[in-house]
Structure 1
Amino acid sequence: MAKQILFNVFEMSSAMHNSHGLWKHPANERTRRYKDLDYWTELALLLERGRFDALFLADVIGVYDVYQKSKDASIRDAVQVPLNDPAFAIPAMASVTEHLSFALTVSTTYEHPYAHARRMSTLDHLTKGRFAWNVVTSYLPSAARNFGLNEMIKHDDRYELADEFLDVSYKLWEASWEEGAVVNDRENKVFADPAKVHEINHEGRFFRVPGPHLSEPSPQRTPVIYQAGSSPKGKEFAAKHAECLFVGGPTPEHTKQSIQEVKRLAESYGRNPDDIKAFTFLNVVVAETTEEAEAKFEEYKRLWSGEAAKAQYGGSSGYDLSEYTDLDAVFEYKHTEHGQSRAASLTKDNPKKLTVREVLESFDTLKRRFAIVGNPQQVADGIQAYFEATGVDGFNLTHMITPGSLVDFVDLVVPELQKRGIYKTEYAPGTYREKLFGQGKRHLQKGHPGAKYRHAEKSTV
């Protein structure tokens, strides 16, 4: 059987995500309904009908205010603000679905692992093991200020903190409660065996956590770990920790090289590179005919906001594009403490040197390179070609109009991919980790740094 594509939907608990300016489209329901629980349960049912693997929920904990040194552009055009906590809708969505999984973005920069571990265990319990954690470090200066810091923690230091954060979390999830600790023995009046519940006694550079973990082991113990770092430090972190890698690149060749680099690094950590699934961005504009799809795309172009796109880029890269006044100068890479992969995307990682004029123009209009546009066969051709050229395992599907773009994808593209044998017609049973890696593999796999904390005599993998 041909390798089958994994699909997530890339979403955010906000009025808009990355379809800048399209909040103005009259069919964009998320703009007015993202605050309603019904919006999220209806979305979950749609995604399960389309056999999506997971709903991937992005998040930030600050306002994009680097561009023009102001928050105004972001607030005016709903650039990931206003923004709700994405965790609260997950149990409701899980309650109306059987197989759809959920990946939640939580930053290690301003959380504490003790409380965080309980939150993650709770969500793994309530979803019956259909849960993943997208590990990020926070790059927005406004977030640092609101958490009482004068400036952001430096990029590489954020990863050092994150590495210890995960170490503490693994100890709480894997080492604190043994399998069989909860006996629920009414006759002998013992709910849990104290001899099988352990302190972790972590003493580190950033955290001191004696334990024990407050929650009993959830179906997966440790949620599936997503990570999206593309800087040298981020790739090392992903190679060590990630089970699902979120990767991008200006060309299919670049994306393929990034995946291969992380997998080689994973082997150096004693991990099986097959224990990492790679995902990249996908955006689609599809209709029954090519002409209808092109008309949709032109409509979206008219609503696009270049100012919103520049505001989002400014916060994620650290580059304030309003300061670049020499339009014919080369847009060069400079180090920032923001997202280094975003900073590199239009500079040292781009196939050719760009001028400032070219960079600014790239944000001012919706470009065809950001989406596959066409009828179902054309879109499926584009997806299949990229899938085969890069070696990715799946895609995080963004969307112009919600839920309309997703309805189009489910109704028009999914059947075409299924007909080609490269997309599932039924879900596999089990937890999210089992759906990704195989039946019986509900816990971290051997070689993963978190697995070493599991009581050896109780290991199931």
Structure 2
Amino acid sequence: MSREIRLNAFEMNCVGHQSPGLWAHPRDRAWQYKDLEYWTELAKLLERGRFDGIFIADVIGIYDVLNGNGEAAIRQSTQVPVNDPLALITPMALVTEHLGFGLTASLSFEHPYPFARRLSTLDHLTKGRIGWNIVTSYLDSGARNLGQKALSDHDARYDYADEYLEVLYKLFEGSWEDGAVLRDRERRIFSDPSKIHEIRHHGKHFQVPGIHLCEPSPQRTPVLYQAGASNRGKQFAAEHAECVFVAAPSKTILKKTVADIRRRVAEAGRDPRKVLIFNLQTVILGETDAAAQAKWRDYKQYTSYEGALALISGWTGIDFGQYRPDQVLKHIHTNAIQSAVEAFSSADPSKQWTVQELADWVGIGGFGPLIVGSPQTVADELQSWVEETDVDGFNLAYAVTHETFVDVVELLVPELQKRGVYKTEYAPGTLREKLFGDGPRLPASHPGAAYRDLGRLHGPLAAAALA
């Protein structure tokens, strides 16, 4: 029997996310990103389609590598303007019951102590439907605006992230014991100080002596997402992540990536089947293949070459403005370009990729692959990706919003359900329970679980239990 396919909606609190220029399409609603109704309507739509969650991207900073400035990104609304993603979650949770929320927040720009409170608050308000996409950021412009000369070295950011997670695990898992909250009206005692512990963290980057400010939320630690594609990033994911987001442009690359991640997870002492891997994907659907192709041609009229180059330049750190559109990529000698060429040429080694062709690829859906067709055609293709690469599901980017997601819910989901590869009802419980079928908390094999014995290590906040 074929495996269940999992779907997340890939969104961002901005106008132009992964399809630069499509904001100008007459049916696109991205300009309404400032309105609560945009988000609450989307949340209800996704829950009707039994999506596992909405994965909300974010950046701090602007894409200013192209031509050495941010003018192209600003002109084309390439992920700027961009609003804070955290504020979206509470209203979306209010109109849904099951939909999960993957919040992107950079640990490079957030101190772990107040950030832990924000996450616990959201987990309380959503009744345990929060996930955190752990990112270390990649735009120097963001670092400069926070008083840093530039982002620190890539691998050093992950060393910093390791300690950041240690602080959060201590706060989430170890500070408040189970049973610390009494709510005893008769004795007028709300919490038992003997079961609440200072974490006494003294590290290289952080000094956090006190207790977590929040009582334990339904999941304690939110579901942990990670999107690093580098060797160090994949190692970090193997140790910490429960869901991994990748953006492989071909089945060949994705198969290797998935196998590498699962191998690393097993070496870290965790169950590789308990880590879900999602690939970035975009689908354009019509009632028939011909109708879908016509829709794709309509969308193509609005793609932005300049906007695509702004994205690619920001992602790779290479200024593509210095190259002609017809310049062949393999003749551009930089490490970043070579890795991109290797990834894109894997599906067709004989193909000569030009700058224009790379921009055309990114123009709808970013680096992820695009599938165009009827529900039957798209379902066939998604099933083949799962079966041939061992991926668990897809983060679906939109071309035109909400139209892309309406088409998925009304056309694709029924076809997948008919084939028995997509859920017809949500599982009960928290996001972690829905995704993995286990309990609401981190499993014992996860490194975060090791911090549950802070009381034994440090002693209680109060010397004696309450009488």
The TM-score normalised by the length of structure 2 is: 0.92
* Counterpart for residue 452 of structure 1: 450
Structure 1 match to 2:382: 383
Tell whether the 8 Å contact from 2:132 to 2:224 is kept in structure 1 after alignment: yes
Contact 2:21/2:303, CA 8 A, preserved across alignment: yes
The Cα shift of 1:250 comes to 3.2
**Corresponding residue for 1:236?**
235
Which residue of structure 2 aligns with residue 290 of structure 1? Answer: 289
**Post-superposition CA distance 1:328-355 (Å, at most 9, x none):** 572456457xxxxx98333467424876
2:341 matches 1:346: yes
Between stretches 183-192 and 318-327, larger displacement belongs to 318-327
Could you tell me which amino acid in structure 1 is paired with residue 415 of structure 2?
E
Change over 3 Å in CA distance of 1:328–1:13 after alignment to 2: closer
Residues 201 and 30 of structure 1: CA distance in aligned 2, closer, same or farther (over 3 Å): same
- What amino acid maps onto 1:283 in structure 2? T
Residues 117-164 of structure 1: CA deviation (Å, up to 9, x unaligned): 111101111110011000001110110110101122111111111111
The CA distance in 2 between the partners of 1:372 and 1:364, in whole Å, is 14
- In the alignment, what sits opposite 1:443? 441
1:21-420 to 2 correspondences below 5 Å: 21-31=21-31, 33-324=32-323, 327-328=327-328, 330-331=330-331, 334=334, 344-347=339-342, 350-351=345-346, 352=349, 358-364=354-360, 366=363, 370-420=369-419
The whole-number CA distance in structure 1 between the counterparts of 2:341 and 2:127 is 41
| 1:62 CA drift (Å) | 0.5
**Distance verdict in 2 for CA 1:265–1:27, change over 3 Å:** same
Report the equivalent of 2:5. 5
Report how far residue 362 of structure 1 moved.
2.1
C-alpha distance in 1 between matches for 2:226 and 2:338: 18
The CA deviation string for residues 21-67 of structure 1, in whole angstroms up to 9 with x for no partner, is 00100110122x11011111110000000000100000000000000
The aligned length equals 450
Structure 2: which amino acid aligns with 1:443?
Answer: R
Return structure 1 stretches of 4+ with deviation > 6 angstroms: none
Q: Kindly indicate whether structure 1 or structure 2 has the higher relative contact order, using CA contacts under 8 Å at least 6 residues apart.
A: 2
Distance in 2 separating the partners of 1:189 and 1:452: 33
In structure 1, C-alpha distance between the alignment counterparts of 2:124 and 2:338, rounded to whole Å = 38
Deviation at 1:374, TM superposition (A): 1.0
Give TM-score scaled by structure 1 length.
0.93
Shift of 1:315: 1.1
Q: CA RMSD in A?
A: 2.1
Structure 1 position 247, deviation (Å):
1.8
Secondary structure (helix, strand or coil) at the match of 1:161 reads helix
Q: Does the CA contact (< 8 Å) of 2:50 and 2:424 recur in 1?
A: yes
Any gaps of 5 or more consecutive residues in structure 1? 337-341
Structure 2 contact 101–131 (Cα < 8 Å) conserved: yes
SS in 1 for 2:301: helix
How far the C-alpha of 1:367 sits from its partner, in A, is: 7.3
Taking the aligned partners of 1:289 and 1:250, their CA distance within structure 2 comes to 25
Matched letter for residue 355 of structure 2: V
Aligned in 2, Cα 1:80/1:296: closer, same or farther, shift over 3 Å?
same
**2:283 partner letter:** V
Q: Label 1:408 to 1:367 Cα distance change in 2 as closer, same or farther (>3 A).
A: closer
Tell me if the contact between 2:170 and 2:454 (Cα under 8 Å) persists in the aligned partners.
no
Change (3 A) 1:335 1:217: farther
Identity %: 51
Tell whether the 8 Å contact from 2:278 to 2:392 is kept in structure 1 after alignment: yes
| 1:227-272 deviation per Cα after TM superposition (whole angstroms, max 9, x unaligned) | 0111110011000001001123232122122112122112222212
Q: How far apart are the structure 1 equivalents of 2:392 and 2:125?
A: 27
The answer as to 2:15 corresponding to 1:15 is yes
2:281–2:395 CA contact under 8 A, matched in 1 = yes
Deviation string for 1:256-292 (max 9, x for gaps)?
2211212211222221212211110111111112221
Q: Distance in 2 between matches of 1:387 and 1:23?
A: 31
AA aligned to 2:358 is S
Q: 1:453 to 1:367 in 2, by over 3 A?
A: closer
* SS state at 1:179 partner: coil
- Taking structure 1 as reference, are residues 87 and 367 closer, same or farther at Cα in structure 2, changes over 3 Å only? closer
2:40 & 2:172 partners in 1: Cα distance? 29
Q: Tell me the SS of whatever aligns to 1:35.
A: coil
